[in-house]
Each structure stands twice: as C-alpha cells, then as structure tokens.
Amino acid sequence: MTKKNSLFYEFMKGILKENPLLILVLGTCPALAVTTSAENGLGMGVAATAVLIMSNAVISALRKVIPDKVRIPAFITIIAALVTILQFLMEAYVPALNASLGIFIPLITVNCIILGRAEAFANSHGVVRSAIDGLGMGVGFTLALFFIGSIREILGFGTFFGMKMPWITEGGLQPMMIFGLPAGGFAVFGVMIAITQKLNKRFYARQPQAVMGCSECPGCINAHTAPADHASNALEGQVTEEKVVVPNTMREPGVLANLKEVKQAEKEETK
C-alpha cells in the first residue's frame, strides 16, 4: 500500500478505506434522494466535491484565526456561503441538473461529510493537505453516488445516462419500478455498504471502522457511534461519569477551553 502521510495516501484513503458514504456512512440523505439516475448521482457528487475542497481549504487557512469556542457556527457559516456560490454557478451553467437536484443543493450545507471533515481534518492540517483530503473524500463520495445511481437507473428505468438498455424490449424484459422509488434506494444502498465492507476487509485486512467517527459531527449519529446513548444513560445516572463518551461538539462550548486551562494549571502546580 502507499506510504502513510504522503499526499497520495490522503487522496486514496477517501476512495475505499475511509469512503465517506459507504464506510463512514455520512451524508446518507442526498445519497438516497438524488440517486434515481447516474447523471444526478454524478452531479450531486461533483457539487459536493467542489464544496468539500473549498471548505477544507478555507477552514484550514483560517484555523488559527477562528476561536475554538465558536468554531462550529463559524464552519457552518463558511460552508453555507460556499454552497450559496455553488448554487448560483449551477443555476447559471447547468439549470437542468440544478432543477432535478432541487433542495439537496442547499442541503449540502448540513451534509455531515463536509462539517465532519472540517472538524476532523481541516481544523488540524495544512491547506494543501486539507484540500487533497477534500478531493479524495469527494471522489469517494462521487464514485459511491455514481454506482448507486447507475444501478438504480439501469434496474429501475432500463436506461443509463438516458440511453435505453438493449434488453428492454416491447413485450420482453421490463424495468423494475421499485428501484426508482424510495424503497429501492434503501435496498441498493444497503447492498452497496455490505459489498464495500467486504472489499475493505479484503484489501486492508482489518475491520473497517470509522476512523473519523460520527461523534465529530453534531448532526449525525450513525450505527457505529451513538453518543446520545451514552449521554442519555449518564443523565439518568446509569453510567458513571468517567465512562461517558460525549463528543466534543455536544459539550458546552466553554467546557473544552476550561479543561485546557485546568490541565495547564495542574501541570504548573506539579512543577
């Protein structure tokens, strides 16, 4: 495998090892909603990739300026601004795609992948590295959306990029409508996750687990990490406080900063 810490590694990890959609299971909403055709899937992927690269670069450049306490609102504002710019561009140059993606373009703002990468990677790495990470994650996301979109379009409508499949004939094989409907979206996505996890186990010879973890992303709790479970148990006094894993972003904004100060004070005392 490629050497760790090289730029190529940062790019490649987004494609299979840490595929944002199929391994980390982030950004599921657009993945299910817009993948009724290969074209839509590809368009959504490219749009999200553009925002991801830009947001990672901008946030990485500003990481020393943004105070720790207000970083989440600051990140969201930056991302929302970038998404608004993207929306303008899409309205101007690809109006048909813009219309078919609908509200899922503005919803890129709250896509867990983007905020998650900002929090987990861009906030602690340099500009170039963050942009490459954004590109890799974006390509991984795009590929996943493209595959899901292709499967659903071919099976559900009998077309691929609008071209009719040869085996769809009068009185012969008919497309299965269910794959174009929401139910088919869930099913295809489920099978894709199963296949990717299998591939991942083979290539990387280890249990594919979220390296980044959804706990970094306040809006998204997935099957791997359920911080709310721990937190709710703690609230009812079922778990002792030390064992509780609450994601940073769920804590009071001041707590983290205070923690640093307390630790520093402790260090100084011991000296």
Nearer to another protein, 126 or 219 (CB): 219
Distances from the Cα of 167 to the Cαs of 145, 154, 162, 225, in angstroms? 24, 11, 15, 44
Binding site for another protein (CB under 8 A): 25-26, 28-30, 32-33, 72-73, 76-77, 80-81, 83-84, 87-88, 103, 106-107, 109-112, 115, 178, 181-187, 189-191, 193-194, 197-198, 214, 217-223, 226, 228-229, 231-232, 235, 249-250
Distance between CA 261 and CA 251 in Å, rounded? 16
Neighbours of 204 (CB within 10 A): 14
Question: Shortest Cβ distance from residue 67 to another protein (Å)?
Answer: 16
Distance between CA 226 and CA 245 in Å, rounded? 9
Nearer to another protein, 136 or 218 (CB): 218
Distances from the Cα of 113 to the Cαs of 21, 22, 223, 271, in angstroms? 8, 12, 16, 42
Nearer to another protein, 186 or 203 (CB): 186
Question: Shortest Cβ distance from residue 24 to another protein (Å)?
Answer: 11
Nearer to another protein, 49 or 109 (CB): 109
Strand-pair partners of 173: 168
Question: Shortest Cβ distance from residue 163 to another protein (Å)?
Answer: 26
Nearer to another protein, 157 or 189 (CB): 189
Nearer to another protein, 57 or 188 (CB): 188
What ranges in the chain are assigned the alpha helix state H?
Answer: 7-13, 28-33, 38-61, 71-93, 95-101, 112-120, 127-157, 182-204, 227-235, 253-270
- 160 by DSSP, 3-state: which? strand
Distance between CA 49 and CA 19 in Å, rounded? 13
Strand-pair partners of 76: none
Question: Shortest Cβ distance from residue 255 to another protein (Å)?
Answer: 12
Question: Shortest Cβ distance from residue 10 to another protein (Å)?
Answer: 24
Yes or no: say if 132 and 11 are a contact pair by the CB < 8 Å rule.
yes
Question: Shortest Cβ distance from residue 23 to another protein (Å)?
Answer: 10
